Structure 1
Amino acid sequence: MINLETRETVVQNLKDAGCSIDMIEYFMKCYDSENLSEQLFLLEKHRKQLLSKVHKEEEHISCLDYLVYQLKK
């Protein structure tokens, strides 16, 4: 088993990464049962969701950049 400080660190890291409470609770159940494959699956899924949001925001920035370019012409 792991010590309390390590568990708290993992939970804090998940919070800092923007994970939901439900996801954190499920992740920690997997963590406690040493289900590494499910932990990795959850992290990859969350990473993909975050990356999708980043790409969407990049599209918004590109639209604004184009508008600024057109206005300056």
Structure 2
Amino acid sequence: MGEIPERTRLLRNLKDAGCDEAMIQKYLRLQEEGKRQEQFRLLSLHRASLLEQVHASQNMIDCLDYLIYTMKCER
């Protein structure tokens, strides 16, 4: 059984990280151009966006937890 090629692993990782096709193409173009710092910047921006989504979801969960708590206390 052969090992998965580096490019295939990279593409899978980018997709698994939630990168859309446009972002993947931009990342690959930057890679071909040797613009490593811009690749870091692109990934960092995506990471920040994902983290913002996590925080927003956490706030919604906190609101639900509060509602559930108040309902239980009313019994």
* Common fold: TM-score over 0.5: yes
**Greater relative contact order (CA < 8 Å, ≥ 6 in sequence):** 1
User: Any stretches of 5+ residues in structure 1 without a counterpart?
Assistant: none
> What residue is the counterpart of 2:20 in the other structure?
20
Question: Match of 1:39?
Answer: 39
Gapped runs of 5+ residues in structure 2?
none
Distance 1:46 1:18 in 2: 9
Q: Report the alpha carbon displacement of residue 49 of structure 1 after superposing the two structures with TM.
A: 0.4
TM superposition outliers: structure 1 runs of 4+ over 6 Å: none
Q: Does 1:67 align with 2:74?
A: no
Q: TM-score scaled by structure 1?
A: 0.90
Match of 2:10 in 1: 10
Aligned-residue Cα RMSD (Å) equals 1.3
Shift of 1:9: 1.2
Q: Does 1:57 align with 2:57?
A: yes
Q: Which residue of 2 aligns with 1:48?
A: 48
Aligned length, in residue pairs: 70
TM-score where L is the length of structure 2: 0.88
- Residue 27 of structure 1 aligns to which amino acid in structure 2? Y
Measured against aligned partners, the alpha-carbon deviations of 1:2-58 in whole angstroms (never above 9, x if no partner) come to xxx212211110000000100000000111222100100000000000000000000
Identity among equivalent positions (%) equals 41
